[in-house]
Chains A and B, each alone.
Chain A
Amino acid sequence: MFNHAKYYLPCLILLLSGHAYAGPMGFKDSYMVMGDFNNNWRESFINYAITPRDAWGVSATYMRADDKTKSRTLEEVTYTRLLHRWNMPHAQANLWFMGGIGALQGKNNLGENDGLSRDQDFNKTMVTPGMQFDYETTRIYFQAAHRLYRTSELNHDYTSVRAGFSFYEARYDQTQPWFILEARNMNGLSEKIEITPMLRLINKNYFIEAGVNNFSEPRFNFMYIF
């Protein structure tokens, strides 16, 4: 892990000097569909922008611990609010609030004792308020997000930082390739920081990312607005 960190950290710091893209909602009266998938984290959501700054949606998330002893599924109603947008001549920055409330189903596999499995299932109400900041130009991107995933007894807070650059400038109707590096962690499910270099393709109609993380696991994300 630390060997990987030594390799990625200088790259991350280098990328943080630059930046941007893709907010958690589309334009007014549009739907946004998003998916984020790897072995331990699978999330799908759809939201609808009722104003240029507000969107309501639903989300389903599956989370699993690195050692597979804990798993969670969360189905929630979500609300996204653009708190502030800075529209600059050649850049855009945004501050978002994202939150949700929903049903968490959990399973803790405590191992075997005298040949008897000691699975423990539970249901709880989870709230997930969080903030995201992003900054982007046509060549650079930066995003930092922190979101609480809390029940009365659980804390699975999620933190991510991503930064990247585009390989070249593209016209509006062309597909633009980006290199994105993400570091993220989910408290209580993983003690490690997952680092994923990804290739991102942005087109006016779609947004996809694919990569392999520092545990050699594949990752795939997509967004679509209609």
Chain B
Amino acid sequence: MKKLFTITALSLALFSQLAHATQTIKANVNGMVCAFCAQGIEKKMRALSQTQDVYVNLKQRTVAVELKEGQTLAFDTIKDLIKDAGYEVTAIEMSTHPVAHIKADLEAKDGKQ
């Protein structure tokens, strides 16, 4: 009985972690070379109700959009908004890291280049 309780507790804890896993959409963007011009991307992403945080890195050509807990967002929505801002998405993926982690990672790469 004690063993069953332990397994159940562990399963619930794991499920809870998965249910609250961070969802961040990471896009590689071509043409994004100046902050003044790229501000349109950030503004359009922040205007979405699903958005928790946004990070833009010009040198690594990356836009990261962290979603609010329980929210989803289609890749096509992100692609269309970036296109409307005047840029081109070359790759897009889902990450389980928050924006703060991605920012630290990419800025460490910036420093090495």
Contacts and interface: CB of A to CB of B under 8 A. Distances in A.
Are A and B genuine complex partners? yes
Interface of A: 20-23, 26-28, 30, 52, 82, 85-92, 136-138, 169-174, 176, 202-207, 223, 225
Interface in B20-56: 30-44, 56
B69 interface: no
Interface string B75-101: 000000001111110100000000000
B73 interface: no
A111 to B, nearest CB: 45
B30 A87 contact: yes
A27 B30 CA distance: 16
Contact of A87 (B36, B39, B56, B87): B87
15 contacts: A21-B33, A27-B39, A27-B85, A52-B83, A85-B31, A88-B31, A138-B59, A170-B35, A171-B107, A172-B35, A172-B38, A172-B57, A204-B36, A204-B39, A225-B39
A204 B38 contact: yes
A82 B31 CA distance: 15
Of B36, B42, B87, the most chain A CB neighbours within 10 A belong to B36
Nearest to A92: B31
B68 interface: no
A87 B35 contact: no
Contacts of B85: 27-28, 52
Closest 7 CB pairs of A and B: A87-B31, A27-B40, A92-B31, A204-B35, A87-B30, A87-B88, A172-B56
Contacts of B83: 52
B84 A169 contact: no
Given A22-B36, A92-B33, A171 B57 contact: yes
A170 B34 CA distance: 9
